[in-house]
Amino acid sequence: MASGDDSPIFEDDESPPYSLEKMADLVAVWDVALSDGVHKIKFEHGTTSGKRVVYVDEKEEIRKEWMFKLVGKETFYVGAAKTKATINIDAVSGFAYEYTLEINGKSLKKYMENRSKTTNTWMLQMDGQDFRVVLEKDTMDVWCNGKKMETAGEFVDDGTETHFSLGPHECYIKAVSSGRRREGIVHSLVVDGQEVPAAACQ
């Protein structure tokens, strides 16, 4: 079974029912937050047949039957930006295996730590709909619910504003200097003149 910080967590969600045989081969589930949304990665590993199946958001990405080598890696791509993901299969002892997920060559934990430095995420609800707005600080790209938004940048007295709209709502992300070198630039999302608090999770 998996161990360590990057271990998958099994969740009891309303996913489609699995057959007993299929359920026995499901060894890992990960949730990966990218700019275009949170993607669910599932991995099936048949340790008797050597079968390997990778699902991204319930869609089969890789299927290999009858692999003689039970350890190794499977590489595939996730999300709109085609982010590279690799599942490493390592033998721990005897017939026990450890499964770790790497995103862009970094462990999932390291990748998510780095992402929290390079992106800002806001969750809001308007007109009965949930919105997840993500700012990529390095490119100033803005994503909302999986789509890259059309934006217009503007210099203002105390920094910059990146304008976009969500339906009838006027939005902008304001970037101002914190005045402290370690904090750098502070980004805030303003919707219809009201500031939206940043989401705790990315």
**Confidence at residue 177, expressed as pLDDT on a 0 to 100 scale:** 85
Digit-coded pLDDT (tens) for 36-46:
999 999 999 98
Digit-coded pLDDT (tens) for 97-152:
899 999 999 999 999 988 888 999 999 999 899 999 999 998 899 999 989 999 99
Dihedral (C-alpha) 65, 67, 70, 73: value to the nearest 10 degrees? -80
CA dist list (Å): 54 to 3, 18, 61:
19, 15, 6
CATH of domain 26-104: 2.40.128.180
CB-neighbour burial class of residue 188 (10 A; exposed 0-12, middle 13-18, buried 19+): middle
Given a cut of 80, whether residue 190 has pLDDT beyond it is: yes
> How does DSSP classify residue 109?
H
Given a cut of 80, whether residue 22 has pLDDT beyond it is: no
From 2-6, 60-64, 112-116, the region with the lowest mean pLDDT: 2-6
User: Is 26-104's fold the same as 116-196's?
Assistant: yes
| Mean pLDDT across the chain | 85
Digit-coded pLDDT (tens) for 158-168:
889 999 999 89
CA distance 99 to 97: 7
- The closest alpha carbon to 83, from 30, 7, 131, 8, belongs to 30
Residue 10 contacts residue 28 (beta carbons within 8 Å) = no
Architecture of domain 116-196: Beta Barrel (2.40)
The reported pTM is 0.75
Q: Where are the domains of the chain?
A: 26-104, 116-196
Confidence of residue 21 (pLDDT cuts 50, 70, 90): very low
